[in-house]
Structure 1
C-alpha cells in the first residue's frame, strides 16, 4: 500500500469518525425525560455514549497526527523505539504509531 493510498484510507476513516462524533454529540445534548426511572436509564446510556465519543476523539487525534507525518521521514517509524513499523502492520493499521513490539508492551 502506497502512502497516497494510506492517506486516502485515513482521510475516509477521519470523515467517518467525524460524522460519528457529531451524531454522538447530538445524542448527548438531547434533554432527559421527566420520569425518574427513564432518567436513570438515559444517564446510563449517556455514559456509554460518552465513552464511545472519547474513543472516537482519541482515534481522530491519532489519525490527525499520522496524516501530518505522511510524506515525511517520520511516517512508519515507531514513536517509542524509533524502529521501522512493519509494512504489513501499516497495511492493517495505517494509523498506528507503534511497532508490534512496543504495542505489545503497552498492553
Structure 2
C-alpha cells in the first residue's frame, strides 16, 4: 500500500471539516425552524431535537479532532502515535484520518497478551 502524503491527508481533513460545518449549520437551521402546533407535535419535535443535538455534539467533537490533527501537521507530528511515537498504519489513517493513536494505543484497544 502506498502512503498518502501529508498534503493529501490535510486536503481530506479540510474536506471533512467543511462537511461537518455544513452539517452543523443544517442542524442549527432545523432546530430553529420548529413551530409547535400541539402537544403531540411538540413531543415529536423534542425527540427530533434531541437527535439533532446529539448529531451536532458529535460533529463538534470530530471538528476538535480535526483541528488537533491540523496542529500535528504543522508540528510535523501527524501520522505518528502521540503515545508511543510509532507511525500510524495507513489503513487506520484511511478510516480515521484525524486519529492521534496507533491501533495499540487507541482508546478501547484491547491489551495485547505477552
Which band: TM-score by shorter chain? 0.7 to 0.9
- The answer for the alignment partner of 2:87 in structure 1 is 84
Q: Is residue 2:55 matched to residue 1:56?
A: no
TM-score when normalising by structure 1: 0.87
- The answer for the alignment partner of 1:9 in structure 2 is 12
| CA RMSD between the two structures | 1.8
Task: Give 1:74 shift.
Answer: 1.8
Q: Matched residues in 1 for 2:56 and 2:89: separation?
A: 30
In the TM superposition, what whole-angstrom CA distance separates every residue of 1:60-106 from its partner, at most 9, and x where no partner exists?
A: 11111101211433212223333321223223321111111122635
Any stretches of 5+ residues in structure 1 without a counterpart? none
In the TM superposition, what whole-angstrom CA distance separates every residue of 1:13-68 from its partner, at most 9, and x where no partner exists?
A: 11011000111011112234130010000000000000010001111111111012
Structure 1 stretches of at least 4 aligned residues deviating more than 4 Å after TM superposition: none
TM-score when normalising by structure 2: 0.82
Corresponding residue pairs, total = 107
Any stretches of 5+ residues in structure 2 without a counterpart? none
